[in-house]
Structure 1
Amino acid sequence: MPTWVVVLIVIAAVVVAAAVVWLVMQELRRNRLQRKFGPEYERAVADHDSPRAAERELAAREKRHQELDIRPLTPEAKERYTREWAQIQAKFVDRPSPAVAEADQLLTELMAERGYPTDGYDQQLADLSVRHARTLDHYRAAHDTMVGHSREQRSTEDLRDAMVRYRTVFEDLLGDEAREHHDARNGR
């Protein structure tokens, strides 16, 4: 066999091997992002032209999140937020609409104290999606109910559902320190 044929076969083998490695790496990245972002991964894919564009967006969110100074709450702050949440829930019985608005505001304050930027709703969603993807749909639904209620009256049942959803996000943000400690110990 001539030398040039051997060289050509070797080059072809290297190209095929590189392509296989690249495809495996892409699949591993996709799987990691799907595990990390859960339902938010599917939402991002639906919102973008291609899965690769969505994956670039999610990777950019991760990078931005790493640059944030996310802080644990002090025990006093946790206690204060828990107390404020209980007061808001108690108000819900007599004044559901203002209580839902207060719950939204308290979540924004909690995010800010933890170190999440609160400059805009869409950015809040993107920043929260990195560590709180599992409860993000609750935040969206509750926030949409609150905003929708300001335009048209929503039923008390809709507002109750929003409060339950806000509570899910509130508990996730409040109890995040244990998960962060676990993730740090396990190299995540």
Structure 2
Amino acid sequence: MSTGATIVLIVVVVAVVLAAGWFVAERMRSRNLRSRFGPEYDRRVAETDDRRAAERELAERRKRHAALDLRPLSEASRTRYAEQWTMVQERFVDQPREAVVEADALVVAVLRERGYPTDGFDQQAADLSVEHAAAVEHYRGGHDIRLRLERSEVSTEELRRALVHYREVFGSVAGLGAGPQADTARRYDDAAR
């Protein structure tokens, strides 16, 4: 084999190896983002209709999130918020509209105390999606019903769904997965059916 042919062969092999490496790295990045963001990944890809643009946005969210000064709630705050949440759920029986408004405000209060910026809903949802991917769709669902509530376009059943959405978000951001708050929520669901 001539020297020129050897050089061409080496260049082709290097190019193939680099292309394969790039392809594998992109697939791993996509898999990592899909794993981290779950349904939020699929939602962003569908909304932008451009996987690369969606992945760039999600990567930017991770960077922004990493720069936030987030902190867990103290045990006293968690207990206080759990008690407030119980009162919101109890209020729903007689005042469902007011209870949904209070549920929204309570979620924002917890976010604020944890260190999340609370400037606007879209940014809150984006920030929340990094650490609470499973809860962010609930946040959007509750918020959508909350906005329609302001225009008096919701039924009592929709208000109940909003409260359930907010409960999922609240439990996630407040760090209340199981225990008394979850037991109260199950009793509430049983009574509402």
TM-score normalised by L of structure 2: 0.89
Moved more, 168-177 or 102-111: 168-177
What is the deviation of 1:49?
4.0
Say whether residues 1:21 and 2:21 are aligned partners. yes
Matches of 1:152 and 1:91 in 2, distance apart? 19
Q: How does 1:86-125 map to 2 (within 5 A)?
A: 86-125=86-125
Matches of 2:144 and 2:35 in 1, distance apart? 26
| Matched length | 177
Structure 1: 5+ residue runs without aligned partners? 178-188
Partner residue of 1:65?
65
Moved more, 167-176 or 104-113: 167-176
Matches of 1:11 and 1:36 in 2, distance apart? 37
**Matched residue type, 1:119:** D
Say whether residues 1:76 and 2:79 are aligned partners. no
Partner residue of 1:38?
38
Matches of 1:112 and 1:155 in 2, distance apart? 30
Matches of 2:100 and 2:56 in 1, distance apart? 35
Partner residue of 2:3?
3
1:64 alignment partner, SS class: helix
Partner residue of 2:85?
85
Q: Deviations over 1:62-81 (max 9, x none)?
A: 00000001101110000110
Q: Deviations over 1:121-176 (max 9, x none)?
A: 00001100001111111111111001011113311111011101100110011117
Matches of 2:176 and 2:9 in 1, distance apart? 54
What is the deviation of 1:24?
0.2
Give the share of equivalent positions with the same residue, in percent: 48
Partner residue of 1:163?
163
2:71 alignment partner, SS class: coil
Matches of 2:152 and 2:81 in 1, distance apart? 30
**Matched residue type, 2:58:** L
Runs of 4+ in structure 1 off by over 6 angstroms are: none
